[in-house]
Structure 1
Amino acid sequence: MGRATIKSGTINLLNTIVGAGILAMPFGLKANGLLFGCILIVWSSLTSAFGLYLQNKVAKYTDQRGAVSYFSLAQLTYPKLSIVFDSAISIKCFGVGVSYLVVIGDLMPKIMESAKVKPESILMARNFWISVFMVIIVPLSYLKKLDSLKYASFLALFSVVYLICLVLEHYFVRDVDVPGKHIDYFGPISLTSTLSSFPIFVFAYTCHQNMFAIINELKPCEKDGSQTRQSNIIIRNSICTALVSYLIVGIFGYLTFGNTVNGNIITLYPKSSISSLIGRLCIVLMVSLSFPLQCHPCRGSMNHVYHFITQGVAEYKVRKADRQNEREGYTTLTSDIESMNDSESAQNESFVSTTPMEGAQDTDGHDPIIVPLTSKRFYIITTIIVMLSYLVAITVTSLAHVLAFVGSTGSTSISFILPGLFGFLLIKPLGDATKLDTLEKFCKYGGLALSIWGVLVMFVCLGATIFLGATH
C-alpha cells in the first residue's frame, strides 16, 4: 500500500500545520512582547514535535506501522473510549474545515471590493464564492490517499511563501506608515494578555490528525531507510519549516505595525496595493486547498465511530470475556475476522486505504483489529462531510466561539493528551530486553508529562475562551 515519500509526507504535514493561523502570529507577539512571544512559538513547536515523535514511536512499538490509528491504539488501551477519541477528532476536523469555507466567504467579497466591483454584483455575495470554491474542493476531498494531495499542498505552500515575502517586503521597504506605534521588545506584558493569546501558539502546530495516515502510507526503502526514520525526518522538516515561517511573519509583522497590529495582518496592508490583493487571494487559495486535509482524518474517524456503534459493543464484550479467561495482555479479536465474511465488506466491494488501514496488530502477535471501509461507505461518508460543511458554511457567518471550544478540547486531545497517553502506556522493552533503555524511559515518562501538559493547556484555553473571550 505504501507509496508516500519523505518529500510528499513533509509537504502534506506542513500544509496541515501552516494555515490561516500564521496571520495571527504578529498579534501573538503584540500580546506577549517580542522575546517572550518568540519563546512561546518555539516552546509550542517543541511540544507539538514531541507529540508527533511519540505517535511515530508508538506505531513502532506496537508493530502497527502501515496500519496505525487512534482507534487501533485505543483498542489496546481503553477500548470503550475509542468512540470518544474519534468523535472528538471528527468534530474538530469538521469544524476546522467549515471555518476554511467561512474564511473564503468572508475574504472574497473584500477582495472584489478592492478590485472596484459594484456592491450589487453577484461577485460580492459570500455564498457565491463558497459555492465556487466548493467546485475545486469537492474532487480533492474524494481522493483516497493522503499522498494524492501532495500537489495541492505544494500549491498551497506557495501561498505561504508569498505571504512571507509580502511581510518582509513591507518591513524593509518601510512603505507602511504607522504613527505612534509602540513595540515591547521583551515581555511578558500581562498574565491576562498571555492567557488570551495562548491558544494562537498552541494550536498553530496542530497536525497530529494526519500523522498516522502519513506513517501508514510510507514504506521502507534502501535509500530512505525504515518507516520510523522517514517519519522522523518528515516531523523534523515540517516543524522546523513551520517554526521559521511563524517567526518571520510574527517578528517582521509586529515590527512593522507594533501595537496597532490585529489578529489578521493581511488586512492591515493597503487595499489598493496589487501585492496585498494577491496576498489575500493566496490566503483564500491556501485555506481552500487545506480543506481536503481536514476531510481525510474526519472521514476515517467517522468510519471508526460507525464501526464502534454497529459492531464495537459486541466486540468489546468478546474482548472482556477473553481477558477474564486468559488473564493477560491484549486479546485476539476473533469476531473481527468472522465479521469480515458476514459484513458488506465481503460483497465484492474493494477496500480503500484511509486512516486507519484495514488492520492493526500488536507486539504480542494477536490478530489484526479490522476496521473495514468499503468503497460504498467511503463515498457516503465523504459526501456527508462535504454537504454538511457547505450547508453550515453558507448558513453561519462566524464560528469563532464554537471553534475555540472545539480547538481547546479536540486539538489538545490529539496533539498532546492521546500521543502522550499512548506513549506512556504502550512503550515497553523490545526484543529480548527486560528493561527500558534511556530513550525508552524518556519517551514513556515524557509521554506522561505531555499528557499532563495537554490537560493543563485544555483548561487554560477553555478558561481563556470563556472568561477572556479568546477566539483565535
Structure 2
Amino acid sequence: MLEINSTSDMSINAGEVTAVYTDHGAAEEDMGSETTLLLGNRAVEQRAKGASFTSSVFNLMNAIMGSGILGLAYAMAHTGVVGFCILLLLVSSLAAYSINLLLKLCDETGINTYEGLGGRALQKPGKVLVGVTILIQNIGAMSSYMFILKTELPAAISSFLSPETSGGAWYADGRTLLILVTVCVVLPLALLPRIGFLGYSSSLAFLFMLFFTVVVVVNKWAIPCPLPSNVTHNQISNTTESDCTPKLFVISSKSAYTIPTMSFSFLCHTAVLPIYSELDRPTRKRMQNVTNVSISLSSLLYLISALFGYLTFYGHVDTELLLGYNAYLPRDVLVMTVRLAVLLAVVLTVPLIHFPARKAIIMLFCGDGAFSWVHHIFSTLLILAVVMVLAIFVPDIRNVFGVVGSTTSTCLLFVFPGMFYLRLSNQPLRSLESIGAVSLMVFGLFVGLLSLSVIVVTWVQNP
C-alpha cells in the first residue's frame, strides 16, 4: 500500500503525525476510540467525508473474491465437507487476525501504508521489499485475470450465438476483446484517483458473484446423480449410487491444494490500508468491522458455492466449477449467463488490484511527495501495458505466476504482518498477541512451502 498524498487523497504523513488521546492513561488500551491528529503543532482541519462503511465493505469484498471461487468446490471434494469447513474457518480467521495486526501497527506508528510499515520495521530494504512484493503479486494477479478473460470471453459470447455463426468474427478473437475491455472498462476505472470511487463497481462485482452462487444452488437439482451415462467428461463414462454420497473427511495428495487455494482466496491485504485511509471517520475499530463483515460475507458465499457445487458433482467436480456445467448443461441460458457474469466480475476486480500496484510503483520511484496527475496517469498506463503484454503474448501465464504468487501472496497475507508486528510492537514476546504473530509467520511459511511444493510436483507430473 502506498500513502495517499495531498489533501484530496486524505493523506496522513507518517513522519509528521502525532496521535494524541484525550484519556492519557488509556491511550493504548482504548483502541476503538477516535484519535485527534496533530500536524506539527496545529490541529488538522476536519477532513472531507470519506468512503462510506458500505462502500468500503464492497471494495474489500471485491479485493477478496475473484476467480478463486471457481476452485473451492474442487477443494471440498478433496477435503470433505467437515474438513473444508474447518479449514475455511481457520484461514478466514487468520486473514482477519493478520489484518488486525496491520491496523494496530497503523495506530501505534501513525503509518498508513504497507510499504511504510516495512520501512519502519526493516528500514529502506523493508520498504523496497514490500513494494516489490506488492507489484509482483498484483501484476501477476491482474495478468492471470486478463488471461482468463482472453481465453474465456470469446467462448462466452459465442455461446449466445447460433452455431452457424462464423468463427472468424472480431468478437471471437480473445486479443481483440482483451484490448477493447481494457481500454473501455479497466482503464477508466483504474484512472480514478481514490479507491473509494470503486465502491460502485465493486458492488456490481459482488452482485455477479452472488448471482453465481444462486445459480450453483439452483443447478444442484438440474443435474441428476448418478451423472448421466451418455455424457463422457473428465474421463468418466458412468457413475454409481455410491458416488452420490457426500464425504465428511477426505485426505489425499490433492488435499494439499486446499490450504493454498483458500489462502489466496482471502488475500486482500494490499487493499486494506488504502481503504482504511479513505474510510469516513477512520478508526481501527471501524475498519476492523469493515474487515469482519467483508470476510464473513465472502466466507459465506465461498461455503455455499463450494458446498452445492460439490453436492452436484461430488468426487467428479472439475478444478474450475463452471467446466462441469458446460459439459452437462450445454447451451443452458442460466449457465451461459453466469459464465459471462463471472467474467465481468473478474474484469471489475482488476482496477481494484491495480490501485495498490500503482501506489507501490509511485512510492518506489517517486517517493512520498504530493499527488501528481502526471505520475498517476503514467504509472497507470505503464502497469496496464505490462499486464496486457503478459496476457496477450505469454502462452500460459498462470503457471509462471503460480510460483511467484505462492510466495508473494503468503508473505503479504501471513509472514509480513507477523514479522512487522514483532519488530514494531512494544508488546513483550511472551504476550498473547506476540505469540499469535509468531504463529502467523510459521503458518505462512508452511503454506508458502506447501504451495511451492505442490506447483513443482504438478509440473513434474505434467510437464
**Where on the TM-score scale, by shorter chain, does this alignment land: which range?**
0.7 to 0.9
Q: Does the residue aligned with 1:384 lie in a helix, a strand or coil? A: helix
Structure-to-structure mapping, 1:328-367, within 5 angstroms: none
Confirm or deny: 8 A CA contact 2:246 2:311 kept in the other structure.
no
Q: Tell me the residue number matched to 2:72.
A: 25
Offset at 1:183?
A: 4.5
Q: Tell me the residue number matched to 1:444.
A: 434
1:464 maps to a residue whose letter is V
In 2, Cα distance between equivalents of 1:252 and 1:166: 10
In 2, Cα distance between equivalents of 1:156 and 1:177: 34
Asked if residue 405 in structure 1 is aligned to residue 461 in structure 2, the reply is: no
Asked if residue 129 in structure 1 is aligned to residue 177 in structure 2, the reply is: yes
Structure-to-structure mapping, 1:425-440, within 5 angstroms: 425-428=423-426
Q: Tell me the residue number matched to 1:189.
A: 251
Q: Tell me the residue number matched to 1:77.
A: 121
Of 91, 97, 115 in structure 1, the residue corresponding to residue 136 of structure 2 is 91
Q: Does the residue aligned with 1:119 lie in a helix, a strand or coil? A: coil
Offset at 1:170?
A: 0.9
What do residues 144-194 of structure 1 show as CA deviations (whole Å, max 9, x unaligned)? 11101000001111110110110110114556761414545122322x211
Distance change >3 Å, CA 371–CA 465, structure 1 → 2: farther
In 2, Cα distance between equivalents of 1:408 and 1:91: 11
Of 251, 261, 270 in structure 1, the residue corresponding to residue 307 of structure 2 is 251
Moved over 3 A (4+): 172-177, 181-184, 370-373, 468-471
Of 31, 47, 60 in structure 1, the residue corresponding to residue 94 of structure 2 is 47
What do residues 35-69 of structure 1 show as CA deviations (whole Å, max 9, x unaligned)? 212222221111111111111111111133xxx11
Asked if residue 61 in structure 1 is aligned to residue 125 in structure 2, the reply is: no
Confirm or deny: 8 A CA contact 1:12 1:149 kept in the other structure.
yes
1:165 maps to a residue whose letter is V
Q: Which runs of 5+ in 2 are unaligned?
A: 1-9, 11-48, 229-238
2:251 maps to a residue whose letter is I
Offset at 1:112?
A: 2.9
Structure-to-structure mapping, 1:209-220, within 5 angstroms: 209-220=270-281
Structure-to-structure mapping, 1:365-404, within 5 angstroms: 370-404=368-402
Of 58, 74, 87 in structure 2, the residue corresponding to residue 11 of structure 1 is 58
Q: Tell me the residue number matched to 2:294.
A: 238
Asked if residue 110 in structure 1 is aligned to residue 159 in structure 2, the reply is: no
Q: Tell me the residue number matched to 1:296.
A: 355
Q: Which runs of 5+ in 1 are unaligned?
A: 221-225, 309-369, 430-434
Of 342, 350, 353 in structure 2, the residue corresponding to residue 283 of structure 1 is 342
Q: Tell me the residue number matched to 2:30.
A: none
Asked if residue 264 in structure 1 is aligned to residue 320 in structure 2, the reply is: yes
Q: Tell me the residue number matched to 2:4.
A: none
Q: Tell me the residue number matched to 1:414.
A: 412
Q: Tell me the residue number matched to 1:367.
A: none
In 1, Cα distance between equivalents of 2:180 and 2:374: 27
In 1, Cα distance between equivalents of 2:366 and 2:437: 28
Confirm or deny: 8 A CA contact 2:391 2:397 kept in the other structure.
no
In 1, Cα distance between equivalents of 2:280 and 2:296: 23
Confirm or deny: 8 A CA contact 2:145 2:350 kept in the other structure.
yes
Of 213, 219, 223 in structure 2, the residue corresponding to residue 170 of structure 1 is 219
Confirm or deny: 8 A CA contact 1:61 1:428 kept in the other structure.
no
Distance change >3 Å, CA 84–CA 63, structure 1 → 2: closer
Confirm or deny: 8 A CA contact 2:390 2:397 kept in the other structure.
no
Offset at 1:395?
A: 1.2
Q: Tell me the residue number matched to 1:199.
A: 260
TM-score, normalised with respect to structure 2: 0.81
Q: Tell me the residue number matched to 1:454.
A: 444
Amino-acid identity (%): 24
Higher mean alpha-carbon deviation, 117-126 vs 451-460, is at 117-126
Confirm or deny: 8 A CA contact 1:15 1:156 kept in the other structure.
yes
Confirm or deny: 8 A CA contact 1:303 1:373 kept in the other structure.
no
1:77 maps to a residue whose letter is A
Confirm or deny: 8 A CA contact 2:142 2:387 kept in the other structure.
yes
What do residues 337-375 of structure 1 show as CA deviations (whole Å, max 9, x unaligned)? xxxxxxxxxxxxxxxxxxxxxxxxxxxxxxxxx455422
What do residues 386-430 of structure 1 show as CA deviations (whole Å, max 9, x unaligned)? 11211221112421211211211111111111111122222226x
Offset at 1:307?
A: 4.2
Confirm or deny: 8 A CA contact 1:420 1:447 kept in the other structure.
yes
Confirm or deny: 8 A CA contact 1:90 1:298 kept in the other structure.
yes
In 2, Cα distance between equivalents of 1:417 and 1:37: 23
In 1, Cα distance between equivalents of 2:436 and 2:198: 33
Distance change >3 Å, CA 213–CA 176, structure 1 → 2: farther
Higher mean alpha-carbon deviation, 272-281 vs 171-180, is at 171-180
RMSD: 2.1
Confirm or deny: 8 A CA contact 1:195 1:464 kept in the other structure.
yes
Confirm or deny: 8 A CA contact 1:146 1:296 kept in the other structure.
yes
Offset at 1:271?
A: 2.8
Of 447, 450, 454 in structure 2, the residue corresponding to residue 464 of structure 1 is 454
Confirm or deny: 8 A CA contact 1:159 1:286 kept in the other structure.
yes
In 1, Cα distance between equivalents of 2:395 and 2:69: 21
